[in-house]
Amino acid sequence: MQFIVWSIFGDFLLMTPFAALFYRLMGAKLGLNVQINSKYCADLSLLEIGDNAVIGGHATVIAHSLEARGLIIKRVRIRRNAIVGLNAIVLPGVDVGDRAVIGAGVFVPKDTKIEPGTVYLGNRTATGEDQE
């Protein structure tokens, strides 16, 4: 059902309160004032997004992975005031801390923990001091 609804109405729902409502109805746990600008979030019952978080355009967030040892299913947490950048890819088990930012186009491997207040840029992370 998610695929059918998003295929037909997704572009019209993005960045409106109806996108968050749709994700909630599909099982995602969303805080207040969450902005979602992507149709590429899967496994919604395993997705938790905190208050005032933003999922950037065309970002991919999934909670499953098929590997040699079988199907991996892990919850994805994006905490309060966090930002997932445009075209970022977030894999199972990722925990994005409060006020953390994932840069545009960044690949976040499974089970990665991004500390609160940091900017994750792939193979390196910038702290608040590095950004000044």
One digit per residue, the tens of pLDDT, for the chain of length 132 reads: 666 766 777 677 787 888 888 899 999 999 999 999 998 999 999 999 999 999 999 999 999 999 999 999 999 999 999 999 999 999 999 999 999 999 999 999 999 999 999 999 987 656 555 554
Q: What is the pLDDT of residue 39?
A: 86
CA 44 to chain CA centroid, nearest Å: 10
Sorted by where each begins, the domain ranges of the chain are 2-126
By C-alpha distance, which of 126, 36, 14, 125 is closest to 83? Answer: 36
By C-alpha distance, which of 5, 120, 18 is closest to 59? Answer: 120
CATH 2.60.40.10 fits 2-126, yes or no: no
Q: What is the pLDDT of residue 125?
A: 56
Q: What is the pLDDT of residue 66?
A: 93
